[in-house]
Amino acid sequence: MSKYFLSIIIFFTLILIVNAQTDSSKTASAHIPEFEVSDVIDSDYDLGDCSNSALNLPASDWGLSFGNSKDFTGIRINASECGIGNINGINITLWSPKYFDNSNVNGFSFGVAPAAGNLTGFQFGLVAAIASNNMTGLNYGSLALISDENMSGISISGLALISGRDITGLNFSGLATVAEGNLTGISLSGLALIANKNLTGINIGGLAMVSKGNLTGINFSGIAMVSEENITGINIGGIALVSNGNITGYNFGLGALVSDENIVGLNTSLGGIISKGTIGGITFNGYKTETENMWGVNTTIGITKANNFTGLSVSGLNRFTGAQAGISIGLVNIAESLSGIQLGLLNIVKSNPAPFRILPFINIGM
């Protein structure tokens, strides 16, 4: 039974290591520790330990069954599943399962920990519901729902939803929802949403949201949102959004937006907006906006730093080490070359002839 309670402490073993570097010379990275769902559901029993003795009325394969009947249709009450086959109807189990590979339970399953190879229908586990293959339908476990392959439908758990492949549908967990494959649908978790592939839909993670693939849809996380590929849609991270790919859409990170590639859309932060590629669209930021190339409308209270810039930039310090095309407004404006206007206390255009390189109030490219 203790192995099934590994799901209770899954959030301790799934340590999310998020290293978001705001220095553009370094790489933003997300690491998801490897885990195997089979480790959680493996049993010390095998088929040879099982006996299919049962009292079945009025027939051996249908009606009312008391015991570990192997194949049965009707109402079945059993202490603990061991070596079962195909069960259809109402299935009630009083204790944790022993061995349930290669079995199918269809209908209404109720007990301490309903279990089968495939669970289909309405699963209600007082502690957990466990499938060594797929779990499909209305799935509820007071502490955990665990599937070694796919989980689909409406899935609700007090602590954790864990799947060895994909989780699809309406997914609610008190602490963590973890899919080794894709996580798709409407997903809400008190602590974390984690997908080893893509995370798609309406996604809310109380603390963290982590995807090794693409993160797409309406995404909200209380602290951090991390993707090893692209983040696309309406993306709100309480502290940070971090992507090894592109961040596209409406993007808000209170502390930072960090991308190894491009950040494009409506971009808002109070700390830093950092991209190794391009920042484009409308940008509102507090401390620092830094990228290789930038276009659009930028408002940064502190420092804006880019190689090439096109558009309008309002910042305490505008520093463009390459070409600026457009308007920059700030206390200090610096450009290597300028096709446009600088407005500020000190305006520097390094490519201008000597008398016009450094001017107060206004400067233009020559």
Give tens-digit pLDDT for 292-318: 999 999 999 999 999 999 999 999 999
Q: Reply yes or no on whether the pLDDT at 9 is more than 50.
A: no
Nearest to 141 by CA among 168, 112, 120, 183: 112
CA dihedral defined by 175, 172, 36, 109, rounded to 10 degrees?
120
Does residue 133 sit in helix, strand or coil? Answer: coil
Angle at 275 between CA 274 and CA 279, to 5 degrees: 100
Residue 2 phi/psi, 5° resolution? Answer: -65, -30
**Mean pLDDT of the region 93-102:** 87
- Please tell me the least confidently modeled range out of 31-40, 43-52, 153-162, 314-323: 31-40
Residue 359: per-residue pLDDT: 94
Nearest to 201 by CA among 190, 188, 192, 191: 188
Residue 27: per-residue pLDDT: 40
Contact call for residues 90 and 106 (beta carbons, < 8 A): no
Give how far Cα 184 sits from Cα of 148, 188, 203, 294, 365, Å: 17, 11, 9, 33, 52
pTM of the model: 0.84
* Residue 65 tokens, joined: 């069954």
Q: Reply yes or no on whether the pLDDT at 12 is more than 50.
A: no
Q: Say how far apart CA 32 and CA 1 lie, in whole Å.
A: 27
Residue 186: per-residue pLDDT: 96
What tens digit of pLDDT does each residue of 118-128 get?
999 999 999 99
Residue 83: per-residue pLDDT: 87
Residue 25: per-residue pLDDT: 36
Contact call for residues 245 and 257 (beta carbons, < 8 A): no
Residue 324: per-residue pLDDT: 96
Model confidence band, residue 100 (pLDDT cutoffs 50, 70, 90): confident
Nearest to 108 by CA among 155, 57, 73, 157: 73
Residue 203: per-residue pLDDT: 92
* Residue 82 tokens, joined: 């061991």
3-state DSSP: the chain helix, strand, coil percent, rounded to 5? Answer: 5, 65, 30
**H-helix or E-strand spanning residue 343:** strand 288-349
Q: Say how far apart CA 148 and CA 133 lie, in whole Å.
A: 5
Residue 94 DSSP label: -
* Residue 10 tokens, joined: 């899954």
* Residue 64 tokens, joined: 């009312």
Model confidence band, residue 159 (pLDDT cutoffs 50, 70, 90): very high
* CA of residue 282 relative to chain centroid, distance: 25
8 by Cβ neighbours in 10 Å (0-12 / 13-18 / 19+) ranks as: middle
